[in-house]
């Protein structure tokens, strides 16, 4: 059974509204071994299954680039827990996930490009 984590996602609008208040994107974290933070976004790194030192990474693109370095450590901790409990599918929220009237969509994944898959060198 897959190990998955859900992330709040701006699925239909750029604001937090009733039609996307519970919209999430699920990410399979089987084989994930590291999480890094850069430019306010998080990247989940997967085991080398491509050979030649190459690995798959998934960049989670947050509205307003609001992810903190501490969020990367929290996500890695959650990944380790979920990998031991594959039937669970918790929701991961950023540390400062307190949307305000001026930035209602911050702390959620981008509407148009919530993630990108990257093939590159292993971390």
Structurally, the chain folds into a number of domains equal to 1
Whether the pTM exceeds 0.85: the reply is no
Quote the pLDDT of residue 53: 73
What are the beta bridge partners of residue 35? 44
Q: Measured between alpha carbons, how far is 89 from 6 in angstroms, rounded to an integer?
A: 6
| Sequential DSSP letters for 10-26 | --S-SS--TTTTT-EEE
**Residue whose C-alpha is closest to residue 79's, from 58, 99, 52:** 58
Residue ranges making up the domain that contains 94? 4-121
User: Residue 70, Cα to own-chain centre: how many angstroms?
Assistant: 13
pLDDT at 47: 87
pLDDT in the model for residue 106 = 65
What token pair was written down for 39? 């430019």
- Report mean pLDDT in 10-residue bins for the chain, 123 residues: 85 52 83 93 86 84 86 96 89 80 68 81 70
Choose among 55, 63, 57: nearest CA to 105.
Answer: 63
Residue 62: predicted pLDDT: 87
In tens, the pLDDT along 39-68 reads 999 999 998 766 777 788 999 998 877 889
């Amino acid at each position: 059974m897959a190990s998955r984590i859900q992330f709040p996602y701006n699925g239909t609008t750029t604001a937090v509204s009733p039609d996307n208040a519970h919209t999430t994107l699920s990410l399979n974290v089987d084989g994930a071994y590291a999480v890094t933070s850069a430019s306010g976004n998080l990247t989940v790194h997967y085991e080398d299954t491509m050979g030649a030192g190459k690995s798959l990474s998934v960049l989670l693109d947050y509205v307003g680039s609001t992810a903190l370095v501490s969020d990367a450590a929290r996500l890695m901790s959650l990944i380790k827990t979920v990998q031991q409990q594959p039937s669970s599918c918790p929701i991961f929220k950023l540390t400062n996930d307190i949307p305000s009237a001026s930035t209602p969509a911050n702390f959620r994944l981008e509407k148009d490009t919530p993630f990108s898959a990257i093939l590159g060198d292993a971390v």
